[in-house]
A = this chain, B = another copy of it.
């Protein structure tokens, strides 16, 4: 029974909380001065001296004997059993893996496959994943916090394709004008991320930023730290990642995390991410998102977290919760759709990256050489004005004043130009960064689909070699069709959002660009009027 293994896991963690042990540092961490923190480097081995500090921190000692606080997410604590230290995350993963092997009955072909030689096992696993989307660390006993598909290694599509006795899926797909579509709620949930506040724990020793998150459904704010968002992201990725692109959160950043601009940018990006999650008909309706937005108190939140972490319907099993109210699709069509989505998302990914590169380049020019050039023009006019005013000739002042004003105008234009990217290019870049994140999820989603298609193609062979029973094949076909409906519904959701988002961002960009050029024209017109009419 799964519960048993979770209890074992919890016991190991509990046990670790009580004793000191060694840990591997997974990422560089730079201590903030005066905060009692300890700078550590990726790959370094440190000794945990206090794991019960809480607030996401542990106390550790490095090889030089220095002691200080390190974020617990940045280290991998090892369990020392007999001679070798094994990372606990891998321990857990192995338990889960064997769990699935054990729960499947003796007739399950995958059990037989999994007990093959490790070489065969590796080749089977490779067949689930496209080469460039592999997560080699998943096979190297080194599953880290950042692994984007924690549930993937235990979830080949066969888990769903051949699962027995599935309940009726609660997530419905209907046929809309554009094809298969998710069932959208009547009122779309929105949520506001605002009001970042510095909080502290451990009698002020540890500081952090807390954001106020207010869902439109309740209008009641809850406070969340970045690590809570990150927890939510991990849960959503594990649960929906095979069917729905769950884009990464804005990058972690340790240095300067109390910098005002950084906090503002992170908040803005968390807002975009939350909005996208809230806008998704399946994700917005998920228990875990509802928990995140609507928990009543700390106890409620902690209980909910524990429950969410126990959710078994993760990875490909999400397709078991989806039901398309439409006729079964032929393999050809499924394949054609999958290919076409793959092509489109790959092509869009390329062009979004191009646009980002151009945007980055334009940003650099607008904040570098371009205003510098206008400053030079300004200086040239002003210097000429200064010389002119030294002529001693009468009736010079109208010209020199006008020339000085022209110089000043070009100085202002330099400033306007250098500040413009923050006004318009910023939003264009952010939107495209968001889309780059979403598009980066598709290859994995599409790989799951291709793997399922391949399985279905192999069905006859599997029947012939008694790997599956003859009646498994139509079940597989039905479920591959169901997966395809899910992919199509998701693509249609993506397209609809994309059209909305690009329409909005382009209009915003152009509006700001029009304002820019009108402002410059206006300033130059004012400068012009200072000259004597000829």
Residues of A that sit less than 8 Å from B by CB: 177-178, 340, 343-344, 347-348, 350-352, 354-355, 358-359, 361-362, 365, 369-370, 373, 376-377, 379-381, 383-384, 386-388, 390-396, 398-399, 402-403, 406, 492, 495-496, 498-499, 502-504, 506-507, 510-511, 513-514, 517-518, 520-521, 524-525, 527-528, 531-532, 534
Contacts and interface: CB of A to CB of B under 8 A. Distances in A.
Contacts of A499: 388, 393, 395-396, 399
Nearest to A528: B510
A396 B376 CA distance: 45
Contact of A510 (B354, B383, B393, B406): B406
Given A362-B377, A384-B351, A403-B502, A524 B517 contact: yes
Contacts of A395: 178, 499
Chain B CB within 10 A, most for which of A362, A504, A506: A506
Contact of A361 (B358, B373, B403, B513): B373
Contact of A351 (B373, B383, B398, B525): B383
25 contacts: A177-B394, A178-B394, A344-B392, A348-B384, A351-B383, A352-B384, A354-B380, A355-B384, A358-B377, A361-B373, A369-B369, A388-B498, A388-B499, A391-B495, A399-B503, A399-B506, A507-B531, A510-B524, A511-B528, A513-B524, A514-B525, A517-B517, A517-B520, A517-B524, A521-B521
Contacts of A358: 373, 376-377, 379-380
B387 A348 contact: yes
A177 to B, nearest CB: 7
A514 B521 contact: yes
A364 to B, nearest CB: 10
B517 A531 contact: no
Nearest to A343: B390
Nearest to A403: B506
Contacts of A503: 398-399, 402, 531-532, 534
Contacts of A178: 393-395
Nearest to A357: B380
Contact of A492 (B393, B496, B502): B393
Given A365-B369, A399-B506, 17 more contacts: A177-B394, A347-B390, A348-B384, A351-B386, A352-B384, A358-B373, A358-B376, A358-B379, A362-B373, A370-B370, A391-B495, A393-B499, A402-B506, A503-B531, A510-B527, A513-B524, A514-B521
Contacts of A381: 355
A43 B183 CA distance: 89
A361 B524 CA distance: 21
Contacts of A520: 517
Contacts of A391: 344, 495
Contacts of A498: 388
A379 B351 CA distance: 10
Contacts of A351: 380, 383-384, 386-387
Contacts of A340: 392
Contacts of A348: 384, 387-388
A329 B136 CA distance: 94
A344 B391 CA distance: 6
Could you say which of A399, A503, A517 has the most chain B C-beta atoms within 10 Å of its C-beta? Answer: A517
A220 to B, nearest CB: 29
Contacts of A402: 503, 506
A507 B521 contact: no
Nearest to A374: B362
A495 to B, nearest CB: 4
A521 B517 contact: yes
A494 to B, nearest CB: 9
Nearest to A516: B521
A399 to B, nearest CB: 5
B365 A506 contact: no
Nearest to A496: B393
Which of A369, A402, A511, A524: most chain B CB closer than 10 A? A524
A152 B510 CA distance: 64
Contacts of A528: 507, 510-511, 514
B373 A355 contact: no
A358 B414 CA distance: 15
A511 B502 CA distance: 36
Contacts of A361: 373, 376
4 nearest CB pairs, A to B? A517-B521, A510-B528, A393-B495, A355-B380
Contacts of A403: 502, 506
Nearest to A344: B391
Nearest to A396: B499
Nearest to A529: B510
A344 B369 CA distance: 32
Contacts of A502: 384, 388, 399, 403
Name, among A350, A376, A387, A504, the residue most crowded by chain B CB atoms within 10 Å (CB to CB).
Answer: A387
A354 B373 contact: no
A380 to B, nearest CB: 4
